[in-house]
Amino acid sequence: MVPIYYNYLDTPVGRLWVAATERGLYRVTLGPSEGEFLTSLRRFGGEPERDEGPFRELFNRLRDYFRGVPTSFSDLALDLRGTEFQRAVWRAVAEIPYGRVSTYKEIAARVGRPRAYRAVGNAVGRNRLMIVVPCHRVVRADGRIGGFGGGVEVKRYLLRLEGLDRF
């Protein structure tokens, strides 16, 4: 049984639910009810514990982020659970700077699989760390915005918040 802690932060795009294990930040997601979020966390085998402590620094950074302050999350400990390929994609996405975008094709090249842009899209779609691993900064090769787990309007909001008004 792995202890897991959770809390939430209300933001301009809605309630962000966060969870962490002893290894690091495990999940940042928008929107489910508390009950749905807790159900998703119970797969660790125990009852998630609501605790503010593990999230103070994250919440401070997220508040800055939503005020339009260029913010980095790259030094936070992350509990990335997925295949080796997914983790490579998530690490590459985490390196996209504030206010910049990359395409799925560029991420595929960055992880050494230049033709695997669809697989990259699938890995990006499975990202559990919204904003921290900034999948909203990944766009289509034709310049269109593409999909987003939090919804296209939230993706557009986040990109514009970062000064990318063309979206």
Contacts of 48 (CB under 8 A, 6+ apart): 4, 5, 6, 19, 38, 41, 42
**Of 36, 29, 41, 25, the residue nearest 78 (C-alpha):** 25
Report yes or no: 149 and 155 within 8 Å, Cβ to Cβ. Answer: no
- Residue of 19, 96, 135, 154 with catalytic role: 135
**Of 66, 132, 157, 143, the residue nearest 106 (C-alpha):** 143
Whether 135 sits among the annotated catalytic residues: the reply is yes
Going 105 to 107 to 110 to 116, the CA torsion angle's sign is: negative
Report yes or no: 165 and 20 within 8 Å, Cβ to Cβ. Answer: no
Please give the Cα distance from 86 to 92 (Å, whole number): 10
Eight-class DSSP state of 57: H
User: What is the number of H-type helices and E-type strands within the chain?
Assistant: 6, 6
Catalytic residues: 135
